[in-house]
Amino acid sequence: MSIINNILSILEQKGLNQAALCSHLKIGTSTMTTWKKRNTDPPSKYIVPICEFLDVDPYVVLTGAPRSTEQKDDARQQLMNLLDNLETLIGNERAQLVKDTTCTRSEQEKARRQEIRHSVPEESAPCESIEIPFFELPVSAGLGVDLLAQDGDPETISVPATPTTRRADFSVLVAGDSMEPMFSDGDIVLVEQEQEVPEGQVGIFAVNGAGYIKKAGRRKLISANKKYDDISIGPDDSVRCFGLVIGKL
């Protein structure tokens, strides 16, 4: 039996009107007449609305007979299997979405950390240190201190290993303010041992036994602080250069 005949049979069994069904389907009665005369089944889009109007299982409309209990159980099991598969699929998609999102966030966080690492100095990172000699007796930035009066070996201090500190042969404490703003009272300067210092460069000098940190000039030692006079060097003065000042701690 065709689907259209099943529909007509159910209409008759339930005492329902064909015109009412056509109205429910929003089609003309002539369309229903054509399906009947040509024994043509309704398009699939009308099956569900027809079942709703007839209040029957689609299985009845399609086969003309009600489902058996076994068929209902089988259909129910198929539906449950479909739902389980759908739930698994959705779960997998959600899991993949979480995984993708987590990976993306992890990559973003990694990139952010790398950006921070490249833009901010790692001041807290451990630093290699080296030992250099240190003269506690200050080199005067004012009136001069006797460097030659020291006895014994100097102390050593631990300093960060940098290109500048690796060049330094020793360090000296500064006293006074005649070399401000370059060097202040209490600064520890790094010195590279040299017998001569070019003019305009800062060095450690002893003039007649008194030690100074000054700029080397022509026959004089120059103070950076203008309130101090330069130290003129005469032919009878004893002058010794200890080294070139290359930086400070």
Q: The dihedral of CA 185, 191, 194, 199: what is its sign?
A: negative
- C-alpha 211 chain-centroid distance: 53
Q: What is the pLDDT of residue 231?
A: 87
Given its phi and psi angles, is residue 172 left (phi above 0), alpha (psi -120 to 50 degrees) or beta? beta
Q: What is the domain partition of the chain in residue ranges?
A: 3-63, 79-123, 129-248
Q: Which of 27-31, 110-114, 147-151 has the highest mean pLDDT?
A: 27-31
Note whether 45 and 31 are within 8 A (CB).
Answer: no
Question: Tens of pLDDT along 169-182?
Answer: 888 888 788 888 88
**CA-based angle 193:130:249, to the nearest 5?**
65
Question: In the structure, how many helices (H) and strands (E) does the chain have?
Answer: 7, 10
Is pLDDT at 152 greater than 70 in this prediction? no
Note whether 222 and 230 are within 8 A (CB).
Answer: yes
Distance CA 53, CA 141 (A): 109
Helical ranges in 120-171 per DSSP H: 163-167
Distance CA 61, CA 47 (A): 8
In CATH terms, the fold of domain 3-63 is 434 Repressor (Amino-terminal Domain) (1.10.260)
Q: What is this structure's pTM?
A: 0.45
Note whether 57 and 67 are within 8 A (CB).
Answer: yes
Helical ranges in the chain per DSSP H: 3-14, 18-25, 29-38, 47-54, 58-63, 69-119, 163-167
**More confident site: 5 or 64:** 5
Q: What is the pLDDT of residue 104?
A: 59
Tokens found for residue 127: 């630093």
Q: What is the pLDDT of residue 30?
A: 85
Question: Tens of pLDDT along 82-131?
Answer: 666 666 665 666 656 555 555 555 565 556 545 534 444 444 445 688 88
Local structure of residue 145 (DSSP, 8 states): E
Architecture of the domain made up of 129-248: Ribbon (2.10)
Q: What is the pLDDT of residue 227?
A: 87
Average pLDDT, the chain: 77
Distance CA 210, CA 151 (A): 15
Q: What is the pLDDT of residue 142?
A: 45
Closest C-alpha to 36, from 58, 17, 18: 18
Is pLDDT at 226 greater than 60 in this prediction? yes
Q: What is the pLDDT of residue 37?
A: 84
Note whether 21 and 11 are within 8 A (CB).
Answer: yes
Distance CA 41, CA 156 (A): 106
**More confident site: 206 or 139:** 206
